[in-house]
A and B are shown apart, each in its own frame.
Chain A
Amino acid sequence: MAVASRTGGYIERPKPSGLADVLEILLDKGLVIDLYLRVSLVGIELLTVDARIVVASVDTYLRFAEAVGRLNIEETGDAEGLPQLIEDMTSGGAKSKTQGALEGVKEKLFGSDDDDDDDDSSSGQRGRSSSSGSRSRAARSSSGSGSGSSSGSGSGSRSRSRSRSSSS
C-alpha cells in the first residue's frame, strides 16, 4: 500500500513493559498447573473479572442504541454538540462502570507506597471487591449464553480457585 512506503524509514519502539501495560497479561496468562491452588486475590481478581464482563447483553445493546441515537441529534447540531456528547458518553452507562472497576485495580496496583502495608485490607477495599462480585454475578446471569464464549477458559479456572480458597 501507499501508506507503507510513506512510513518506510520509521521504526516504532514498544513501550517499555511497565506493570500497567502488562497487567492484563500478567493476571490472565501463563502456565496453569491444573488442580493447584491459586490463592485468593484480595481486591484484585474480582475487579478484573468484573472489568472484563462486557457481554452481548441487553444492556450493551441498549447502550449502543442510546449512543447512536445521540449521534443523530449531534449531527444536526454539529460541532458544538461534540464535547458534550463525549462527556455524556464517558460519564454514563456500562462504559463508565467498567472503567471505574479497572481504575480500581490500577489504583490498587500503582497507588502510593502506603498501600503496600499488609494491613491495607481496609474496609473500602473489601467492600469494593464484594460489591463487584455481586455485580459480576448479576451481569453473568442476565447475559445468557454470550458470557461463556466471551470470558473463555480463564473464568473457569478463576471460579475454581475461588471456590477452593473459600472452602479450605
Chain B
Amino acid sequence: MTQPPHAVYVYGVTAATAAEIPPVDGVGAAPVRALTHSGLAALVSPVSKTELRAKDVRAHWRVLEHAFEHATVLPVRFGTLMESDDEVRARLLEPNEERISELLQAMSGLIQLNVKGRYDETSLLRGILREHPTLARLRERAERSGTMADQIALGQHVEREIERRRARDTEVVRLALDGVAVSMREEQVRHPDAFNVAFLVARDRMDDVGRRVGTVRAQLKDSVEISYVGPVPPFSFAEAELAPGERVWA
C-alpha cells in the first residue's frame, strides 16, 4: 500500500473571522485547527490512517456541531482528505474562494431542519386498496391465477399508488413551510418513508416553523408518523461539487 503517511482531514469551511477552534477532538482524536486563506478558514485535523470507522463519524459530527454553534459553517462531506495544509489552501480555498464566500453569505444566520414522515405499511396499503377498486380487481386476479406476471402487475400498481401518496403528502409539508423556509429540498426516501424535506430557515423563526410543523402533524396524523429533526448546519444545501485546482496527488 502506498497511502500517504499523513493527510489532512477536512470538516468544513467557515469565514476566517468566525473561525473558532471547536474544543473537541477530531478524527483519530487529533486536535482540530483552522487553516485560513484570505477570508476563509477550513477546519481540519491531521490524519494518518486510511480507514474511517464509526467513531470517526461521531468525531466529524462533533466538530461540525461545535463550529456551527458559533458560526455559519459549510460542512464538507464526511471522509474528505487532502494531502497537506498547503493543498487545502491551494486546491480548496484558493480556487473556490468566490464560490464558498457566496455560499457562506447565502447561508448566514440560517439553519437546516428536516421534517420526515413515515408510513405504517399496513394502514397505507389498506387505504390504497380502499381508494382504488382497480387494485382490488388486480389483487383478485393475482390470487386466482397465482402467476408471477399478475403478482408483478399488482405490485407495480401498488407502488405507483404509494408514489402518488408520497407526492401528495410531501405537498402538505411544502405548503405548510412555504413562506418561512428560505429554501426546501426533498431528500430521497425509501419505503416505508413518506418524505424527508430539508429546509433552511432563519434561526429566529423557530417558533413559526414549530407551529407549522404542528399543523403538518395534525393534518397527516392518520397516515404519517412525523419526526422533526435539527438544527444542523446546511448540509443539504451545501451540496456543490467544488472544482479543485490541478490535481497533485499522484
Interchain CB contact under 8 A, A31 and B54: no
- CB-CB under 8 A from A75, the residues of chain B are 126
Is A138 part of the binding interface, using a Cβ–Cβ cutoff of 8 Å? no
Interchain CB contact under 8 A, B126 and A71: yes
Interchain CB contact under 8 A, A65 and B231: no
Interchain CB contact under 8 A, A33 and B78: no
Is B218 part of the binding interface, using a Cβ–Cβ cutoff of 8 Å? yes
Q: Please give me the residue from chain A that is nearest to B92 by CB atom.
A: A33
| Contact with A31, one of B61, B125, B218, B242 (Cβ below 8 angstroms) | B242
Q: Please give me the residue from chain B that is nearest to A106 by CB atom.
A: B54
Is A67 part of the binding interface, using a Cβ–Cβ cutoff of 8 Å? yes
Is A80 part of the binding interface, using a Cβ–Cβ cutoff of 8 Å? no
- CB-CB under 8 A from A26, the residues of chain B are 57, 60-61, 78, 235
Interchain CB contact under 8 A, B219 and A64: no
- CB-CB under 8 A from B80, the residues of chain A are 32-33, 36-38
Quick check: which of B15-23, B31-39, B148-156 contacts chain A, the rest being far away?
B148-156
How many residues from B make CB contacts under 8 Å with A?
83
Interchain CB contact under 8 A, B50 and A40: yes
Number of A-B residue pairs having CB atoms within 8 Å of each other in the complex: 244
Is B76 part of the binding interface, using a Cβ–Cβ cutoff of 8 Å? yes
Interface residues of A in 73-123 (CB under 8 A from B): 75, 82, 85-86, 89, 95, 98, 108-109, 111, 115-116, 118, 120-121
Interchain CB contact under 8 A, A29 and B215: no
Q: Give CA–CA (A111, B60) in the complex, Å.
A: 17
Q: Give CA–CA (A98, B247) in the complex, Å.
A: 38
Contact (A7, B215) CB under 8 Å given A14-B231, A15-B227, A25-B232: yes
- CB-CB under 8 A from A41, the residues of chain B are 51-53, 79
Instruction: Identify 7 residue pairs between A and B in the complex whose beta-carbon atoms are under 8 Å apart, listed by A's number.
Output: A13-B228, A29-B77, A29-B239, A34-B243, A37-B249, A56-B159, A69-B139
The interface of chain B, by Cβ under 8 A from chain A, is 1-3, 7, 10, 12-13, 49-55, 57-58, 60-61, 65, 74-82, 91-92, 113-114, 121-122, 125-126, 129, 135, 139, 142-143, 148, 151-152, 154-156, 158-159, 162, 187-188, 190-192, 198, 206-207, 210-211, 213-215, 217-219, 227-232, 235-236, 238-244, 247, 249
The interface of chain A, by Cβ under 8 A from chain B, is 1, 3-4, 6-8, 10-15, 17, 19, 21-45, 52, 54, 56, 58, 60-69, 71-72, 75, 82, 85-86, 89, 95, 98, 108-109, 111, 115-116, 118, 120-121, 150-152, 157, 161, 165, 168
